[in-house]
Structures are given as structure tokens and as C-alpha cells.
Amino acid sequence: MTGGHDVAAFDAVLVGSSIHVGKHQPAVAEFVTDHEAALSE
């Protein structure tokens, strides 16, 4: 669990991010990577 967010505790998670120079913000990309297993359930 990174930054105090336990995505497994929610029925659904909506992730949004602005795009700068063709890429999502690094913190959002890291969050999704760190929680990939829980987000894919």
C-alpha cells in the first residue's frame, strides 16, 4: 500500500490523469503500477 490508499477496500476505482508531453503524470503511473493486481480484480 503506497500513500495510504488501499484500493482493495473499494468496489470500483476511477483513475484519471492529465497528459503532459504525451505521458501521464509519473505519480499516477506509479500508483497504477503499484496497485495493478488489486485494480485488475
Ranges of each domain in the chain: 7-39
Q: Can you give the C-alpha Rg of the chain in angstroms?
A: 11
pLDDT at 16: 92
Bridge partners of residue 20, in order along the sequence: 23
Q: What is the pLDDT of residues 4-41, one digit of tens each?
A: 778 888 999 999 999 989 999 999 999 999 999 999 98
Q: C-alpha distances in angstroms, 10 versus 6, 21, 22, 23, 26?
A: 8, 31, 30, 27, 23
Q: What sign does the CA torsion over 1, 36, 18, 9 have?
A: negative
pLDDT at 6: 85
Tell me the whole-structure pTM to 2 decimals.
0.72
pLDDT at 1: 43
pLDDT at 3: 62
pLDDT at 8: 87
